[in-house]
Structure 1
Amino acid sequence: MSADRARNRRLRPAVAGVAAATFGAGAGELAAAIIAPTASPFTSIGGLLIDLAPPWAKDAAIALFGTGDKVALLVGVAVVLVAVGALAGILEARRRRWGRGLFALLGVFGSVAAATRANASLLAILPAAIGALAAMAALSMLLARVPAEADRASVADVDRRRFLAWAGGTAAVGVLAAIASTALSAGSRAVMTVREALRLPEPATTASVPASAELGIDGLAPVITPNREFYRIDTALSVPQVDPADWRLRIHGMLDREVELTWDDLLALPMGESVTTLACVSNEVGGSLIGTAVWLGYPIRELLARAAPTADADMVLSRSIDGFTASTPLEALTDPGREAVLAVGMNGDPLPVEHGFPVRMVVPGLYGYVSATKWVTELLVTRFDRDRAYWSDRGWSERGPIKLSSRIDVPRAGASVEAGTVVVAGVAWQQHTGVEAVEVQVDDGAWEPATLATAISADTWVQWRFDWDAAPGRHTVRVRAISADGEVQTADRAPVAPDGATGLHERSFDVR
């Protein structure tokens, strides 16, 4: 037998294992779609990995992949599954039951992951178990078809082709099952249909965006971020599908009376529009994890007033339907000058599903990880020394006030521009405090004032521009903001953990 033929023969158990793993994964996803839609083995395992990941791993994922971090994680899970499948095939070929035992362990892990997710049903353990059993059966079947030693090369080639056909067919069935599971996700389609048919109530109060808030410079972030471009950072690998008819909000804890709202109850309240800029604590200096929208919602302070928190309460622990929690200072939610709302609309439309449909929180002045809970279903009035939130348990600050920041949008990094007047432009923000001025420094020269657009309010970012008389050569431009209370943005560099990055954004350009 030639060396190539021997090597190919040794690879066949690994191929059988990969095909069996693919078949099992597809079977598990299809089972989830039929009997337990929230217990997808892939998303359950991925969600558990997110929960177990240390803060530095989360930061690294967002820094590397941005809003594609969830796709990257699922791809990573798939790569690991392929590796486990190959190992299972090799083990099973060398010692019976070892490979199937590895698949069984993977099934147990997937079942535990599904059973420990928020709102897990009694059937949550079944999809991963079914997937494991399917993989075990497929592995036994395929290894029984690994061709034996043959006297003639022509016979060996026929046997090899038969084995590859079986392995390829098994893997293809797994892929088709996974595709079918997506098609059977009726909950997702139903919620999208409800959302598309929904008509939001007319706002009792409206928000206006002055024309002078938009400088109209190419490449500059628009003052109102379109829904499709709004950043998304959360812990949900699979976007929760919440039918408004099933939505409930419970307000309980340290208060005189509990309050519970249905969707119809909420829509019957006088809704108002407010414009607020949201920012993620993982936003690096100069980063894009920030956006502004016109929100339609009802003030949370009014609901809390109805519930009457006790005098010693100082925090509200909000909970999402997927189990995520955020710790918001009670004073931020009861502040009459701060439009902290339960939002149902975003830029004139019902909330997009991935941004919290049907109801989310929007709180000016706080990073999203302590305030902007999506798919919110519970507000627990409590104390910081009694309860901790999802990211607080992972080493992040409990309160998360947004830091004074600014960013250069144009010219883009590394651009080559013509000598003469060059427009440098960007945005600056410190929500709920406001920005009084922006200054620009070219190379190591003096700080010079930029021109500000009209700020919509202290709760939004503001655009700025600086007309620079650029001389030929390589230049570096920096920006800093000055807040409405006189604070000058610090040049000291700090990472995003534990409470937001600091430092000055700069860009370098070649001037021709």
Structure 2
Amino acid sequence: MPSASVRTRDLPAAVAAVGATALGAGLGELVAALVAPTASPFAVIGGGMIDIAPAWAKNLAISLFGTGDKAALLVGIAVLLLAVAGAAGVLEWHRPPWGRVVLGALGVVGAIVALTRSDAGMLSPVPSIVAAGVASAATAWLIGRLRRGPRSGLAADEGLTRRSVLALSGIAVAAGALAAAGSFALSSGARAVSAVRAALRLPTPTTTTDVPAAAELGIDGLSPVITPTADFYRIDTALVVPQVDPADWTLRVHGLVEQEVVLRWDDLLDLAPKETVATLTCVSNEVGGSLIGTARWLGVPLREVLARARPTAEADMVLSRSIDGFTASSPLEALTDDRDALLAIGMNGEPLPIEHGFPVRMVVPGLYGYVSATKWVTELEVTRYDRAEGYWTPRGWSERGPVKLQSRIDVPRAGARVEAGAAVIAGVAWQTHVGVSGVEVQIDDGAWQPATLAAAISADTWVQWSLAWEATSGSHTVRCRAISADGQTQTDAPAPPAPDGATGWHELTVTVA
């Protein structure tokens, strides 16, 4: 049975290890900024967790946190790390040196994961090793100080020892936070690429897509037909956003081709970019969800780039690869037919934002992003579906991802209170590269009523719709369904996003005063 003195030192021992681990983590981030920016310990662990996450876990994270899924993951990693550190501190107090062994093992795991990343370099393991080494050494020193205790044996002196260890642990946390802040300040690569982007002038497109005035219904609360860049959703696997200077960027086209092609930034600009408007959506988008947006994209048609390489007759897929190792499996046909599939360099009149793939990303109407929207793209491998697979396919998602027919109610919002009398129900509908010919709305169990469609920009974009409603007092259920340009009616069968996109009707409840 441990003595009361031993038990009362469990908490100081846990706090000491937490402080030591915070110091190690901060110094690890600082070392990463200096020698291996993509091997930040938090990014390495987080990236590894994303890599092994099954489809249901990815979908759960996005449904709970939306585009804040990465921030939530990093916070979760920090909480878990500190919990493990606290337990290691108690273990070190009772069974030395096993607490240090646990912390050291975390560093070994981080170093191994860093080496297995696609962008790993010789120095990639160093930040994780430094983090673990500092955490282990500082834990041993602080708990050793706690174990030595007061030489006089007086209770007051023992309390002073515990307080001094707690104070030193607090100093370690503060030092770790300062080191982490220093790592951010030293991210000169990010600042340099931001400066290059700010100074970049986009070429004039050879062709543009007109957005008719009638495409915008002008209803308060209805999603604008062109999504502002700041509001455009971001879903990808990059915890550390790649920083790619256009001067260093290359695109390699290889595989089942007659002629391998390598393009640089200036080569891409020489191919006469065009501007188009296209809607992109994530396969993780729930029915009625917000992981969808429409933008003006400036870029070079992928079919022109692939035509230079001359794919062979046996090819049926293009495996695009990001600089961070992400891959997407796109049907070759979708990149070479008449749709505006682009190597995009601009978004809404400006160079691509860095977090949206600067300097070059893929935009392919009609396909969910996980099989087409590769950001920071550096490679196109022309291949076959029976020879290769994209990042998400072995993780439970379908190898092909055509966008499904969907519609959403934006006005009124779920749970909203509406004044009785003249009101409006409005939203958006889409099935990119097919198009939408109609939307119907049902109120409670009444008949389906045809909504008024705004003018469509093209089959590759969503379309706004509205329905005048004479609202009566009480609680009402409102639902919508779309009709595609080829005559299909949106299914009412509910299905989750995994493995190939959600289905069902968007439905909400409205209270009329």
Report the secondary structure of 2:497's partner residue. Answer: coil
1:17 counterpart residue number: 17
With 27-36 and 291-300 compared, the bigger mean Cα shift is at 27-36
Deviations 1:364-405 (A, max 9, x none): 000000111000000000011111111111121111100000
Return the offset for 1:154: 3.4
2:59 counterpart residue number: 59
Return the offset for 1:157: 3.4
Please give the alpha-carbon distance, in whole angstroms, between the structure 2 residues aligned to 1:489 and 1:458: 16
1:476 counterpart residue number: 477
2:117 counterpart residue number: 117
1:71 counterpart residue number: 71
Please give the alpha-carbon distance, in whole angstroms, between the structure 2 residues aligned to 1:77 and 1:310: 46
Return the offset for 1:181: 0.6
Taking the TM superposition and a 5 Å limit, the aligned residue runs for 1:113-262 are: 113-146=113-146, 148=149, 151-262=153-264
Deviations 1:124-159 (A, max 9, x none): 011101111111111121112216266444323332
Please give the alpha-carbon distance, in whole angstroms, between the structure 2 residues aligned to 1:237 and 1:8: 40
1:343 aligns with 2:363: no
1:389 counterpart residue number: 390
Deviations 1:42-64 (A, max 9, x none): 10110001001111111110111
Aligned residues: 509
What is the Cα-based RMSD across aligned positions, in Å? 1.3
With 425-434 and 130-139 compared, the bigger mean Cα shift is at 130-139
Q: In the alignment, residue 17 of structure 1 is paired with which amino acid? A: A
The gaps in structure 2 that reach 5 residues or longer are none
Deviations 1:452-501 (A, max 9, x none): 11111000000000001111111111101101110011111111111100
Please give the alpha-carbon distance, in whole angstroms, between the structure 2 residues aligned to 1:290 and 1:85: 40
Taking the TM superposition and a 5 Å limit, the aligned residue runs for 1:362-441 are: 362-441=363-442
Report the secondary structure of 1:399's partner residue. Answer: coil
Deviations 1:188-217 (A, max 9, x none): 111111111111111111222111111111
1:30 counterpart residue number: 30
Please give the alpha-carbon distance, in whole angstroms, between the structure 2 residues aligned to 1:166 and 1:505: 55
Deviations 1:324-368 (A, max 9, x none): 110100011110x20000000000000001100000000000000
Please give the alpha-carbon distance, in whole angstroms, between the structure 1 residues aligned to 2:282 and 2:455: 24
Contact 2:10–2:93 under 8 Å retained in 1: no
- TM-score, scaled relative to structure 2: 0.97
Report the secondary structure of 2:101's partner residue. Answer: helix
Report the secondary structure of 1:463's partner residue. Answer: strand
Contact 2:444–2:477 under 8 Å retained in 1: yes
Runs of 4+ in 1 over 3 A off after TM superposition: 3-8, 149-154
Please give the alpha-carbon distance, in whole angstroms, between the structure 1 residues aligned to 2:288 and 2:111: 41
1:326 counterpart residue number: 328
- TM-score, scaled relative to structure 1: 0.97
Please give the alpha-carbon distance, in whole angstroms, between the structure 2 residues aligned to 1:159 and 1:103: 24
Report the secondary structure of 1:145's partner residue. Answer: helix
The gaps in structure 1 that reach 5 residues or longer are none
1:290 aligns with 2:319: no
2:107 counterpart residue number: 107
Please give the alpha-carbon distance, in whole angstroms, between the structure 2 residues aligned to 1:108 and 1:5: 34
Please give the alpha-carbon distance, in whole angstroms, between the structure 1 residues aligned to 2:283 and 2:10: 50
Report the secondary structure of 2:438's partner residue. Answer: strand
Please give the alpha-carbon distance, in whole angstroms, between the structure 2 residues aligned to 1:4 and 1:364: 68
1:91 counterpart residue number: 91
Report the secondary structure of 1:144's partner residue. Answer: helix
Please give the alpha-carbon distance, in whole angstroms, between the structure 2 residues aligned to 1:481 and 1:42: 43
Cα distance change of structure 1 residues 311 and 474 upon mapping to structure 2, 3 Å threshold:
same
